[in-house]
Chains A and B, each alone.
Chain A
Amino acid sequence: MRQMLDYLKETPSQTAGPYVHIGLAPGAAGFDIYKHELGWDIAGPNAKGERIRIEGSVIDGMGSPIKDVLLEAWQANSQGIYAHPEHEGEVEDGFRGWGRIITDFETGEWGFDTIKPGSVRDAKGKPMAPHISLWIVARGINVGLQTRLYFADEADANAEDPVLNLIEWERRRATLLAHRSGEKGGTPVYRFDIKLQGLDETVFFDI
């Protein structure tokens, strides 16, 4: 009998569909059910560092904003520490580093408040530029798309970032940069539009 590898296979992904809000953001679907919906406070009140707001839209291959997207964000605190037992160091009480964001049904705009993350080192100990990991699901997306948001005003760190430098084309690296676009109530706003397809398509990662 031949040797067998006894690994299991990963459960295959399927689209989140148009009604993803029912499960992950029921308030937006139009009903209150949970005492506490998850994912609306990424940094918490005690987080140190610069408070920022990030806004954007997700654009399809026809140039139209997608109005039924759900994004999740994952980021380190301002010291570059993740709120996870595998990452050494402490985060501020209430700092989760994870958020869930949905687009407006009418405009397709999304936004969230957080703090600017600090630099984190990669597996070889090389510092990565400040970034926020994003995961995007929607109707028509079969497997969630992974990307990273970097900050255009961290040009020196971005130039040395080992992940950005994996991308052969300068023009494609630029798709991962969020740009300062004014402020709201004294909080700086960064703009990050995600293009799913076509010219200036956002870089997506197989992580």
Chain B
Amino acid sequence: MKPGPFYQRDRQWHAPAKTPDYKTSVARSPEYSLISLETTISEMTGPVFGHNDIDPLDRDLLSNYAKTGESPIGERIILHGRVLDENARPVPNTLVEIWQANAGGRYRHKKDMYLAPIDPNFGGCGRTLTDENGYYYFRTVKPGAYPWRNWVNNWRPAHVHVSVFGTAFAQRLITQCYFEGDPLIRQCPIVSTIPDPEAIEQLIAQLDMNATIPLDTIAYKFDIILRGRRSTLFENRMEGN
């Protein structure tokens, strides 16, 4: 028995392409239907990364851009969790990349003109490989909310962008991690692109007191679920014989 095609992605669980309250989606959403494709080897494979590709320090945003002996200003957090598939199996050795604004909501990006200042000791990106149990962690500061031009007075909730590969191009995913209790979550047109409130809950990291380091760093837990696969029980029946 070997792993077969992926479970169909639930497109009623994900956001539709066109979500007019998030204005930019209007001109950037396809109008024709997607063509459904039974997964081939082109979709069931994907890039493989190893420890040669990244530095162990890349997961530590408290130090990966800080001057020696200094650290960024903000609430020190551990963001951690597991990458699992829909069958609840761990996804080991997969690349997780994150990026975020600093504690004041300012991104280190030449296109970000928000008046909150850059933090000289904070870059805002990190990456790591999950371990053999699918576990990952980052150290960072909790990002601030920031305003954006959508409606006149829209503010993004505090969030960390998360990119995950899995083992196949069919599992490729980018999402955003929010923080428990943030009142901006329910007002945000980007969060609200997702129709199902249960699906939104899945993007909210929970305060995890058990994982905090006392007198040092508080923790949030964020598990990531990638598409699961069928097992090909009857491979010789592919042609219907």
Q: Using CB atoms and an 8 Å cutoff, list the residues of chain A in contact with chain B.
A: 6-24, 26, 29-31, 33-36, 38, 60-62, 64, 66, 68, 72, 74, 76, 82-87, 96-98, 105, 120-124, 128, 131, 133, 135, 137-146, 148, 163, 166-167, 172, 196-198, 201-207
Contact = CB atoms under 8 A, between A and B. Distances in A.
A8 B86 contact: yes
Contacts, number: 265
Interface in B93-142: 95, 97-99, 107-112, 123-125, 127
A23 B124 CA distance: 8
A9 B199 contact: yes
Given A23-B127, A207-B39, 7 more contacts: A7-B86, A12-B203, A18-B109, A23-B124, A84-B46, A139-B28, A203-B35
5 contacts: A12-B199, A20-B161, A144-B174, A201-B32, A204-B30
Nearest to A100: B47
Nearest to B125: A23
A167 B86 contact: no
B46 A74 contact: yes
A122 B161 CA distance: 34
B111 A19 contact: yes
Contacts of B203: 11-12, 14
Ranked 5 nearest A-B pairs via Cβ: A23-B99, A140-B24, A98-B47, A84-B45, A140-B28
Which residue of A9, A15, A198 has the most chain B CB atoms within 10 A of its CB atom?
A15
Interface size, B (range): 35 or more
Interface stretch (B69-77, B211-219, B222-230): B222-230
A147 to B, nearest CB: 9
B99 A19 contact: yes
A9 B197 CA distance: 13
B1 interface: no
A64 B45 CA distance: 33
A72 B168 CA distance: 13
Contact of B27 (A61, A85, A98, A201): A61
A148 B36 CA distance: 13
- Where chain B touches its partner, the secondary structure class is loop
Interface in B52-108: 53-55, 58, 64-65, 84-88, 95, 97-99, 107-108
A105 B111 contact: yes
Given A12-B202, A16-B161, A206 B46 contact: no
A11 B224 contact: yes
Contact of A9 (B29, B36, B86, B98): B86
B123 A142 contact: no
Given A62-B27, A204-B35, A141 B99 contact: no
Contacts of B110: 29-30, 105
B25 A142 contact: yes
B97 A24 contact: yes
A76 B6 CA distance: 20
Nearest to A199: B31
Contacts of B190: 14-15
Given A21-B109, A30-B110, A196 B228 contact: no
A83 B228 CA distance: 21
A184 B170 CA distance: 33
Contacts of A142: 14-17, 19, 22, 25, 29, 193
A196 B7 CA distance: 26
Contact of A206 (B9, B41, B112): B9
B206 interface: no
B233 interface: no
Given A31-B108, A144-B174, A87 B45 contact: yes
